[in-house]
Amino acid sequence: MDRFLINGPCKIKGTINLSGSKNASLPILAATILFEEPVEIKNLPNVKDIRTMLDLIKSLGFIVKKNKINNSIIIKKKNIKTFASYSLVKTMRAGILVLGPLLSKYKKATTSLPGGCLIGARPVNFHLNALGKLGMKHCIKKGYIYANAEKGLKGSTIKFPKISVGATENAILAATLAQGKTILKNCAIEPEIKIDLTNFLNKAGAKIKWIGKRSVEIEGVKKLNSISYSVMADRIECGTFCVAAVISKGEVKINGLNPKIISTELKLLKKIGAKIKNFEDSILIKGPKKIKSIKLLKTKEYDGFPTDLQAPFMALLCKANGKSVIQERIFENRFTHVGELKRLGAKISIIKNKAIINGNSNFEGAELMSSDLRASVALVIAAIVAKGNSIINRIYHLDRGYEKIENKLRKVGVNIKRLS
């Protein structure tokens, strides 16, 4: 089982080019089920979740070919099956995203209940309720969802009781080929949805229009046209490298993302002392000599502070001057990295969904255990500035969402090795 060896402390300096967004790629790949003609997807990140989704697409009867000329993927319909097996969906919650497109295009689907990181409850009832209002009938037996829409899906007005990224994506995908007009309210508005998924589908001939901050109108169409599309850069990867630069008192230029997309995170980093220059699709960030604490940082749905960057920011605030508090409001089990950060020397206590971080920690290298994707990268960030060697085990979690992170970090001055 692979692990990382990091010898710190390291100061980061140089340039990093971002990979494509995992969280944008997954619903776009699910959307290819809606097409009759071939679809070309560019800038897919080479990470485990994407490889799993491509395997899932193949298992449904599509041909997936790699175009070596421009490193893109071409997906073409062949012999369609409507069964998504547990073996492919168990490691990745995004597997549920094939349900909406299969129902919309083929009027039936059987899919396993999804898996993923054990960071808290992510019930599928929001998905099922929304698809039910579009005309789906379903039952759940032995861990599988058996669904059908014999008369086809029909447009409806749906208000989500709680903001849900996955349910919003699934409903948009299902409504794209549904009969009539669908209006979705209280939607998730992450850029991976409101910008990338919407642009991808509209470019192919869909009729999707955002009519308010969290409302979207979808006029169903009969078919989608063959297209070539490049996925946006990964904003969570960008935020991760920004944090790494700041905690190491380094200076990094990060290429590939419009800074406006992560304006909330950049404002926070400026607040704690970072110097930041924004360009059209790049960010120049320099860490301060002294990191300032944050009185209270709450995770929130976009355009608030993302839960996916909570763990990296916690590692950063361990080095701040004074006490900080982070309140996790999205997932109830997303503090699994706290015990491992303590092994490095962090001073953190947990009260319900709040982490109280006493700063000025002197990190010393230790052997650590990854527990989920974002927790893994927080340990990497902390180990970068720890004195001596750190071993980070179970980095298969990290490989789910970061493309060759050790290579990128090595190029900007981090002493990191992958051990098998």
The catalytic residues are 117
What are the residues facing 77 on neighbouring strands?
62
Q: What angle do CA 165, 34, 167 make, to 5 degrees?
A: 15
Tokens linked to 14: 């140089």
For residue 296, CA distances in Å to 2, 201, 311, 325, 354 come to 36, 39, 15, 5, 9
CA–CA dist 264, 145 (Å, integer): 38
Q: What angle do CA 391, 396, 402 make, to 5 degrees?
A: 95
- The alpha carbon dihedral of 311, 313, 316, 321 has a sign of negative
- The alpha carbon of 2 is separated from its chain's Cα centroid by a whole number of angstroms, namely 22
Q: What angle do CA 171, 175, 181 make, to 5 degrees?
A: 125
DSSP letter (8 states) at residue 114: P
Instruction: Supply the DSSP string of 127-188, one letter for each residue.
Output: HHHHHHHTT-EEEEETTEEEEE-TT--B--EEE-SS--HHHHHHHHHHHHTSBSEEEEES--
Query: Are 356 and 327 spatial neighbours (Cβ–Cβ below 8 Å)?
Result: no
Strand, coil or helix: what is 202?
helix
Query: Are 40 and 227 spatial neighbours (Cβ–Cβ below 8 Å)?
Result: yes
Q: What count of residues does the chain have?
A: 420
Strand, coil or helix: what is 191?
helix
Q: Left if phi > 0, otherwise alpha if psi is -120 to 50, otherwise beta: which for 120?
A: left
Specify the residue for token string 């996916």.
308
